Amino acid sequence: NGDSLRYDTSVYSAFRTGLLSYVNNTDSIANGTLGQNSNPYVYFTNETDNSGNYHPFMCIASYSITDRPNHLLDVPRPPGDGTGGYGSSKVTRDATLQQYLFKIPMKDYGVVSNLTDNTMGTTLRDDYIASNPSYSIATNCYNYASKSGLGVTIDGLVMYPIMNNNVVPAQSVAEITSSGFHVGRGMGLHYHADGHGAHDTSFNLYNTHDYHDHKHPPLVGFGFDGIALYGRYEDDHSDMHGYGTALDAYGGHEHGNYGYHYHCHSVSIINGVDQDTSETLFVEDSSNWTVSNKTNVSYTLHLLMKGAWKGQINDVPRFWANDSGTDNNGETGAPSYSLSQKHKYVGKST
């Protein structure tokens, strides 16, 4: 019927091989078992909707754990439960096995022309405003985002927006590890930032070793919109394909025969403003004109996925958690990736 895959099958095969290679090699998962597969199953489906249109997916059953020490004990300011002010909050420093079933759309549904072309449930921005009505936040690629996951990395962890649920970069408030992840109250590891390491060890998602003898930065993840995520460009490897092609506001670009894809990258933040895109990362309280996350400091923000999806999601079946009624408690604004999903696109009968 004229439809096509977004990428060559070799891209999905490489991602599958990477996912299946991860094994738990650390005792830092509270209920984990040494030697267990981090991502036990990666398989493909290709079912039709009621109109006879095919919708191929790459399905990933994952515990969302790392294969390496997670360094959660070293996080300066881990997320708290919000009771009695942060000083008396209970914090979480342990990770446990999760039960996720990610599905990555393989069909080319196209990309958006405008930020709000994708119909969202409750965005990260809207969720914050609902609880803080006196605040004003400009809609941009940082906050027109899912309230939970954006995609999955090649080690099987779920990726969240660069912002936390207070619409502040998790990195800027020192609540993540040097690898870019932390745990919330559900004790599930998830990324908020890029922890790319300048060494040849495997202590981070990807490292300088992954650039040797390659023509492009490594494949490190997929968004739930079906767009591939690659590592950042390194100045020491300026001969790599696409090195000189600028990234757009979503953190992606297109060059050669790669198709549109995202890249991890870094941006300079000065007084709460992204110096590349002029997007504001701070929120204003209209009741007393105080400003949050807008300080006279500069820092570098290390992005995996930024927030907003560039890939079209409106025609992806069973995209949202409340589409199935049995996933993530039917939470509006959260993509569907719980193991409780039961529908043909993940190969489970209802």
pLDDT one-digit tens code per residue, 183-236: 988 889 999 999 897 555 667 899 988 999 999 999 999 999 999 999 999 999
Going by pLDDT thresholds of 50, 70 and 90, the confidence category of residue 30 is confident
CA distance 338 to 149: 11
Give the pLDDT confidence score for residue 287 in this predicted structure. 58
For residues 30 and 23, which has the higher predicted lDDT (pLDDT)? Answer: 23
Is residue 175 very low, low, confident or very high in pLDDT (cuts 50, 70, 90)? very high
Residue pointed to by tokens 């060059």: 255
User: Residue 326's pLDDT is what?
Assistant: 46
Mean pLDDT of all residues in 295-307: 88
Least confident span in 64-68, 259-263, 296-300, 343-347: 296-300
State both tokens at 115: 């930020």
Q: Residue 328 above 60 pLDDT?
A: no
**Which of 154-158, 247-251, 300-304, 330-334 shows the lowest mean pLDDT across its residues?**
330-334
The pLDDT value recorded for residue 2 is: 78
In the chain, the DSSP E strands lie at: 41-48, 54-62, 100-105, 135-136, 151-153, 158-159, 181-183, 189-191, 219-223, 228-230, 252-253, 261-263, 265-270, 273-274, 283-285, 291-292, 298-303
Radius of gyration of the chain measured on its C-alpha atoms = 19
Which whole number is the average pLDDT over 310-320? 95
> For residue 34, with 0-12 CB atoms within 10 Å meaning exposed, 13-18 middle and 19 or more buried, which class applies?
exposed
What is the rounded CA–CA span in Å between residue 231 and residue 240?
12
DSSP one-letter code for 197: B
Instruction: Give me the mean pLDDT over the 101-110 stretch.
Output: 98
What confidence score (pLDDT) does residue 69 get?
86
How distant, in Å, are the alpha carbons of 43, 196, 228 from that of 101?
A: 11, 26, 18
Q: What is the mean pLDDT of residues 175-179?
A: 92
pTM, two decimals, is 0.94
Q: Residues 95-105: what's their mean pLDDT?
A: 95
Instruction: Indicate the DSSP class of residue 159.
Output: E
What are the φ and ψ backbone dihedral angles of 88, each rounded to 5 degrees? -115, 10
